[in-house]
Amino acid sequence: MAEETVREHVRRLALQAKGASAGLAQASGEARAAALLAMAAALRAREADILAANARDMEAARQAGTKESLLDRLYLDAGRVEDMASALEDVAALPDPLGVVQEERLLESGIRLARTSVPLGVVAMVYEARPNVTADAAGVCIKSGNAAILRCGRLAAESSAAIAGAMHDAAVAAGMPRGCIVLVDSADRDGADELMQLHGIVDVLVPRGGAGLIRHCVEHAKVPVIETGTGNCHVYVHESADASMARAIVLNAKCRRFGVCNAAETLLVDRAAARGFLPEAMVALAGEGVALHCDDEAFRCAEWAAGEAGRTGVELRFDHATEEDWATEYLAPELAVRVVDGVDEAIAHVNRYGTRHSEAIVADPATPDGAAAIEAFLARVDAAAVYANASTAFTDGGQFGLGAEIGISTQKLHARGPFALAALTSYKYVLRGSGQVRA
């Protein structure tokens, strides 16, 4: 497409969504929930078409040399299509976020004031190789009475088109206005750039992807942005921690899925626990194929652990960490490891290098030192989600009971952490009087 054609294309779709948003805002909660059920049924009915489109995306991505962590995000099978459909049904069953009276009181003037939740209007999503985001974002938008404009990355273009087409047709057949879900056909950056200039048409932009995409949107958008952050997440093992529990949490946080934003990227261990905890944990991580980037003390532990790993037929890959490692979101089987002198140093490290996403401490709450460390960590770490004795993998809209999330925000205004229906609403004051005039 020529640049002008891209501009016209994006504006036309955005105006369709703007027109649809008025009808969505007036649709009943029952009607919107019914539309989500129809969308879920459509995904199941068109599973073969969706998987065929995904196979084409996967083949093109492999030919382009795409790394494995991104291929995992892109890949769909029957189970993942079912997960998308089930997530829509879960969202449909949630309480209606619209028309909620958040506050009500009688003013001195005799006017009755009610603050009532309303949709934002038109929500634009810009995201990369995550076709499931197409379903999640559309479902959350429809349930909250918002029109959805979706712009996926090139890698997921065919998958997202198949998913969005199935859902839009089903939603319209269920009574929602045409244009309630639109997909920008241009996967070039030009399409996203045009979308983020549409002040007065697009009410909010949600970027979801790598640090480069998010930074570009924040720096160039003329519409409000809810910033979904990258996940340089940490697990800190305090000297009081139960070694078995700590090892299980570290393995889950790092290895459950390498390419997700709630995966741990740095392991911090108290010096008093390092020699006892790290070698066995390193062997276990090596068994999952994880390479380690170690500070000096952790490197010495890795040298000893390498021999133990070799006797079990596992190769322990490790090197010296650089300053860059502490700030890196790997999204891959790599982990930075640092030995710290207590909870204060751990907190300082997390607050310096973390991305304010998800952070965890493992400590024994039954001991005075462990309990104090937990409370200090939970109170002083600046992140959207802070955990004591649990994996960072739980930072997820579904796990938080929000249904399908639209993203995980690391900013502090409007939305923070996993956000879904409530974050896609605003409010207005509804005032009922009996002829009052102001002096």
Confidence of residue 393 (pLDDT cuts 50, 70, 90): very high
At 273-296, the pLDDT tens digits run: 999 999 999 999 999 999 999 999
pLDDT of residue 187: 63
3-state secondary structure 186-235: CCCHHHHHHHCCCECCECEEEEECCHHHHHHHHHHCCCCECCECCCCEEE
Question: In which element (H, E) is residue 78 found?
Answer: helix 78-92
Mean pLDDT score, 232-237 = 98
Mean pLDDT score, 424-436 = 96
The encoded tokens of residue 213 equal: 């995409």
Confidence of residue 3 (pLDDT cuts 50, 70, 90): low
Phi, psi of 38 (to 5 degrees): -65, -40
Are the C-beta atoms of 288 and 255 separated by less than 8 Å? yes
The encoded tokens of residue 309 equal: 């790993």
Confidence of residue 4 (pLDDT cuts 50, 70, 90): low
Mean pLDDT score, 50-63 = 96
What span, in angstroms and rounded, lies between the C-alpha atoms of 104 and 5? Answer: 49
Expressed in percent and rounded to 5, the helix, strand and coil fractions of the chain are 50, 20, 35
Q: Report the mean per-residue pLDDT for the chain.
A: 93
Would you give the distance in Å from CA 286 to the centre of its chain? 27
Question: Does residue 97 have a pLDDT over 90?
Answer: yes
pLDDT of residue 1: 45
pLDDT of residue 312: 82
The residue ranges of DSSP E strands in 314-413, in sequence order, are 318-320, 334-340, 358-362, 385-388, 407-409
What span, in angstroms and rounded, lies between the C-alpha atoms of 65 and 68? Answer: 9
- Spell out the residues 6+ positions from residue 95 whose beta carbon is closer than 8 angstroms to its own: none
pTM of the shown model? 0.83
What span, in angstroms and rounded, lies between the C-alpha atoms of 212 and 230? Answer: 10
At 108-142, the pLDDT tens digits run: 999 999 999 999 999 999 988 889 999 999 999 99
At 161-179, the pLDDT tens digits run: 999 999 999 999 999 999 9
Would you give the distance in Å from CA 249 to the centre of its chain? 20
